[in-house]
Structure 1
């Protein structure tokens, strides 16, 4: 199915929250049981629901071991709960989330999570909290899994980087990145092979990971003429690193320089560097897209 992703800010709300243990091999049964527990506690406490029940995963669901996940139910303001309920009332602050909806059973809900992760990479956002599933139509309401409707929400914030994903081999991605950066006026002044350094010096093994230090001499001169401390943030780092489906190329957002140094007069130069970097990474992605 097609997943549409959008950003929204969740409103402040009171939530009845109960941590419960769930087994991965009995996930549907665990969700139904948890929702029943939520309803039972809410009814005994005289609480009125004003939203869909939801669960929050604080870590990935393991293959075998049970984990504790938070079951939540948005409610109207109400009296305090007794300690024997095993639940608590919490006030959730407004939060920026990326969200999408999954229709159908939970066996293929991973596709919705993949769509969210791909959207975050392309839109320049990063997750800043655990995902939450809100059961708009849950298994406690219908027996036919085709009728289930689940909204997945991930708290996000703007990423401090410009990034592009390349479905290609690591050596090819590195060479293309060097070439495109030079064509766009950036000199590659340093290279640091993080994978090799960690393996040789600490014995640690990580994925292929290269840091390129780049600089545009003309724009660097303008920035230094404005503030000599601008050199502390030079050269600009570009990271090329392998992931499960290809290679991620990330460039630090140069507009951060303006924020760190609190020098608004650097804004024009920083925006120009960002425009050039964004253009370089965009052109880096085009051949791969055309080839697909």
Structure 2
């Protein structure tokens, strides 16, 4: 099982990021935070790096369900979304496959919910 869903998209970074966020919203997810690795590497290491941002995506409905089943499952949340500048007009978008990650919980109820979440995130990738 692949641990991610991914797609290359032609376009400008911020435009693609905006579309990704919109498609996440269409499936009930919000972006809790953005981690800008280019900025972090520049500040911490004084090194240049390509645009590489990680969004922490959360669907509150599903997050509540899985936390109610296992209070420690938060260690595996939220669902990360990677947006990376590949070249001038190509953006690489990748979203974690929760089914691959959540399987380590060993909890059948959570694994079943992870499949539902994975279907939603796979639609996000297909629709960008």
* Partners of 1:226 and 1:220 in 2: CA distance: 10
Aligned to 2:26: 183
Aligned to 1:267: 111
The equivalent position to 1:254 in structure 2, one of 87, 98, 121, is 98
The equivalent position to 2:73 in structure 1, one of 230, 244, 264, is 230
| TM value normalised by structure 2 | 0.92
| TM value normalised by structure 1 | 0.42
**Is the Cα–Cα contact under 8 Å of residues 258 and 267 in structure 1 kept in the other structure?**
yes
The secondary structure found in structure 1 opposite 2:98 is coil
Runs of 4+ in 1 over 6 A off after TM superposition: none
User: Larger RCO: Structure 1 or Structure 2 (Cα < 8 Å, ≥ 6 residues apart)?
Assistant: 2
Return 5+ residue gaps in structure 1 as ranges. Answer: 1-157, 285-292
Give the number of the structure whose alpha-carbon radius of gyration is greater.
1
How many residues align? The count is: 127
Aligned to 1:276: 120
* Partners of 1:252 and 1:173 in 2: CA distance: 18
Aligned to 2:43: 200
Q: Which has the higher helix share?
A: 2
Aligned to 1:211: 54
Aligned to 2:83: 240
* Partners of 1:211 and 1:257 in 2: CA distance: 17
Q: 1:177 to 1:249 in 2, by over 3 A?
A: same
* Partners of 1:201 and 1:230 in 2: CA distance: 30
Root-mean-square deviation over aligned CA pairs = 1.3
Return 5+ residue gaps in structure 2 as ranges. Answer: none
